[in-house]
Amino acid sequence: MSKRAGATAAVVSVSCPDVAQSPAATAVGPTDAETPLTRSALITGITGQDGSYLAEHLLAQGYEVWGLVRGQANPRVRLVRQLLEEVRLVRGDLLDQGSLISAVERVQPDEVYNLAAISYVPMSWQQAELTGEVTGLGVLRVLEAIRVCSGISASRSPAGRQIRFYQASSSEMFGKVRESPQSEQTPFHPRSPYGVAKAYGHHLTQNYRESYGMFAVSGILFNHESPRRGAEFVTRKVSLGVAKIKLGYERQLRLGNLGASRDWGFAGDYVRAMHMMLGQDVPTDYVVGTGVTHSVGELVELAFGVVGLDWQDHVVTDAAFIRPAEVDRLCANPAKAASELGWKPKIGFEELVTMMVEADLELLSVSGGHADDSFGSDAW
Ligand code: NAP
Ligand code: GDD
């Protein structure tokens, strides 16, 4: 049992840990092979795609992993419990400051990964205020929970070891791109309320690092996908659509802008980069992507090709899926992550698309056409 497990059994009466003076304060770094069992991580967004892959990765490294879950009967909790039996859950909501302080108090994490967000870009126009509250101000609330529980203030900087914080920033912040490929130096021009909220969270993370000396970093991640991707995002919408058409459940797939291009990678590769960022000596931000870009049209052609079908026989473009403002083309320059973290992706675009189509063929074959494991629906 890790050193954290005993502390967490005492539940809510635990007071704010002074991490600078706790045993963790003198513990070795997260990549030290001698003490992996002593480290604990709190993941917000555990019920999402990245939360599940990150939890698996950290468990494999010997971490005690806690996931923040919201709501009194969140249906995704069942999925998390099925997939990740060893993850411990704590209640909390990015809209509720007190719940975040309680969660940090209870878990006493060495690392906090803030993955929770309203992450579906079209929804951010429909619920712009909520997106600002969760995706933007939610970052402030998590940082404040860490700051308060660590006893950090303007006059009291953290000493020794401290809670390390990861913020899930996004290539959507580059928006109407000023240069290509995009690096850590590329200016932001967000094109959606989601992108604006992410830019706020990004700058705030930088500001807490500079103002309070906190170990707080952002990963500017480009699109990353997997068979666990929510069905509302284009890659999964396409892989599910192709599988349904191949198995005879559907005949058409309705899509929006086929000309938009993205730098798509595999989510399992990207969570490794998150962990690496928190293992560095100096906190700094990193762009994470493959450096290769493809259009939605190419994605569609490849996905239908996996099952031997011609996309032109099935794909219909529908104006309902066109966005008020589009991010036309994203392409990462991941040179800093490669040189400083030693990170590079293992799975390329073709392998990713093939993996997703094959996974959905299998899922629909055994479920009779239902994608019950899906983390979302195509609700524009
Ligand atoms: P996702 O599958 O949409 O998961 C979002 C998570 O946020 C869910 O676990 C959701 O929990 C949680 N959440 C939403 N509102 C919350 C609230 N008020 N309080 C607490 N939790 C809340 O997203 P993802 O693809 O895993 O992405 C993870 C993070 O990376 C997000 O911040 C996203 O914006 C960012 N990002 C993603 C990509 C990508 O390509 N995947 C790229 C760049 C950045 P419920 O189950 O309770 O709804
Ligand atoms: N979702 C969707 N559905 N997108 C479509 C469709 C469709 O039917 N047709 C065309 N697209 C185009 C969108 O217009 C967009 O240009 C592109 O496909 C990708 O859309 P999404 O898969 O929804 O992802 P996203 O790029 O908007 O946002 C994702 O990546 C961001 C990082 O760049 C999300 O994961 C964000 O949370 C993340 O920050």
Place of tokens 């990207």: 270
* Per-residue pLDDT at 334 exceeds 90: yes
Degrees (nearest 5) of the Cα angle 237, 46, 375? Answer: 25
DSSP letter (8 states) at residue 156: B
Q: Which amino acid is at 98?
A: G
Closest CA to 50 of 295, 290, 329, 273: 273
Closest CA to 376 of 278, 244, 229, 272: 229
Is 170 a known active-site residue? Answer: yes
* Per-residue pLDDT at 92 exceeds 80: yes
Of ligand 2's listed atoms, the one at least distance from the Cα of 255 is 8
Q: Which residue minimizes the CA distance to atom 9 of ligand 1?
A: 45
Is 102 a known active-site residue? Answer: no
Say what the pTM is: 0.91
pLDDT at 37: 53
- Using only C-alpha atoms, what is the Rg of the chain? 21
Q: Give me the catalytic one of 102, 124, 170, 171.
A: 170
What is the band of 371 on the pLDDT scale with cuts at 50, 70, 90? confident
pLDDT digits (tens, 9 = 90+) for 24-69: 322 333 444 444 457 999 999 999 999 999 999 999 999 999 999 9
**CA diameter of the chain:** 66
Closest CA to 38 of 4, 87, 86: 4
Q: Give me the catalytic one of 64, 105, 111, 172.
A: 172
Average pLDDT score over residue span 272-301:
98
More confident site: 367 or 142: 142
How many CB atoms are closer than 10 A to CB 275?
Answer: 21
Counting Cα atoms < 13 Å in the Cβ hemisphere of 320 gives 7
Of ligand 1's listed atoms, the one at least distance from the Cα of 194 is 34
Q: How far is CA 172 from CA 10, 104, 280, 296, in A?
A: 41, 29, 25, 16
324 CA → ligand 2 middle, Å: 13
pLDDT at 147: 97
What are the strands, taking DSSP E only, across 31-95? Answer: 40-44, 64-69, 88-91
The CA distance from 140 to 368, in Å, is 44
pLDDT digits (tens, 9 = 90+) for 234-281: 999 999 999 999 999 999 999 999 999 999 999 999 999 999 999 999
Beta bridge partners of 40: 64
pLDDT at 156: 82
Q: Give me the catalytic one of 53, 113, 194, 286.
A: 194
Pocket, ligand 2, Cβ cutoff 6 A:
119, 121, 170-172, 222-223, 232-234, 237, 255-257, 260, 262, 296, 321, 323, 326-327, 330
Q: Which ligand is nearest to the CA of 226?
A: 1
- Phi then psi for residue 69, to 5 deg, are -125, 145
The CA distance from 166 to 54, in Å, is 12
Is 120 a known active-site residue? Answer: no
pLDDT at 30: 43
Transcribe 196-237 into DSSP letters.
Answer: HHHHHHHHHHHHHHHHH---EEEEEEPPEE-TTS-TTSHHHH
257 CA → ligand 2 middle, Å: 10
Average pLDDT score over residue span 67-84:
93
What is the band of 373 on the pLDDT scale with cuts at 50, 70, 90? low
What is the SS3 assignment for 364?
Answer: helix
What is the band of 141 on the pLDDT scale with cuts at 50, 70, 90? very high
Average pLDDT score over residue span 279-303:
98
Average pLDDT score over residue span 314-321:
97
The CA distance from 63 to 117, in Å, is 23
Average pLDDT score over residue span 153-174:
90
What is the band of 157 on the pLDDT scale with cuts at 50, 70, 90? confident
pLDDT digits (tens, 9 = 90+) for 177-225: 999 999 999 999 999 999 999 999 999 999 999 999 999 999 999 999 9
Average pLDDT score over residue span 102-113:
98
Secondary structure of the chain: what % helix, strand, coil (to 5)? 45, 15, 40
* Per-residue pLDDT at 126 exceeds 60: yes
Pocket, ligand 1, Cβ cutoff 6 A:
44-45, 47-51, 70-71, 74, 76, 93-95, 115-119, 134, 168, 170, 221, 223-224, 230, 375
* Per-residue pLDDT at 3 exceeds 60: no
Q: Which residue minimizes the CA distance to atom 22 of ligand 1?
A: 116
The chain-wide mean pLDDT, for the chain, equals 89
Q: Which amino acid is at 157?
A: S
Give yes or no for a contact between 354 and 306, defined as CB atoms under 8 angstroms apart. Answer: yes
Choose which residue among 234, 250, 266, 352 to substitute to test ligand 2 binding: the one with the highest number of ligand atoms within 8 A of its C-beta: 234
236 CA → ligand 2 middle, Å: 10
pLDDT at 260: 98
pLDDT at 300: 98
Beta bridge partners of 89: 67
* Per-residue pLDDT at 226 exceeds 50: yes
